[in-house]
Amino acid sequence: MIEEGILRLAGYAAQLRRVPRMGWLERGVGPCDAESVAEHGFGVAFWAMLIADQASPPVDMGHVLRLALLHDLAEAILGDISATSAALLGSAAKRAAERRALDVILQGLPLQAPYVEAWEEYNAAESIEARIVKDADRLDLLLTALRYEASGQQGLNDFWDRSHPDQFYTDVGRDLFRALRAERKAQT
């Protein structure tokens, strides 16, 4: 039954509330304070909406939000793989594991193929909608780093050091990155 598949999928999505973002834990953010993948997913969806609302020509907002909600769904099974771990695994191995996890999560659902296509579109940054979500993903990471730093957390410089305006796909994303960086500078 379709209802069973949807309930199973919703259960996987709910599991993201319990999956911590490993990059924060690796840098000393306490386990009770570390952002979950679900919290990050909300942040990405919100940033993506804000960026998409400024897009010209207009973009498909429903598609933007679908990409944002699906982009980390595989982590419900796989867990969050930090940048440090991903570098050791290699991008091909990480992507293959995420794809297998996504196949398990979406198995048997009528929307499996379009959801997998959307996930692949995001990863390849194939469309303006995917590029908006890529920018939103990075902006949410940096805003979270900024908030942790404001509360006294040390050791987050590498998130900033690895981020540059030319990594953003959209003018809005670049402008927002510069604004976050300026806020960080004013904060220190």
> Could you report the per-residue pLDDT of 120-168, keeping only the tens digit for each?
999 999 999 999 999 999 999 999 999 999 999 999 999 999 999 999 9
Beta carbons within 8 Å of 178's beta carbon, 6+ residues apart? 165
Angle at the Cα of 37 from the Cα atoms of 31 and 38, rounded to 5 degrees: 115
CA 131 – CA 89 distance, rounded (Å): 24
Place of tokens 């953003």: 168
Helix (H, G, I), strand (E, B) or coil at 74: coil
Find tokens 């039954």 and name the residue. Answer: 1
Domains observed in the chain: 2-187 (1.10.3210.10)
pTM of the model: 0.95
Contacts of 188 (CB under 8 A, 6+ apart): 149
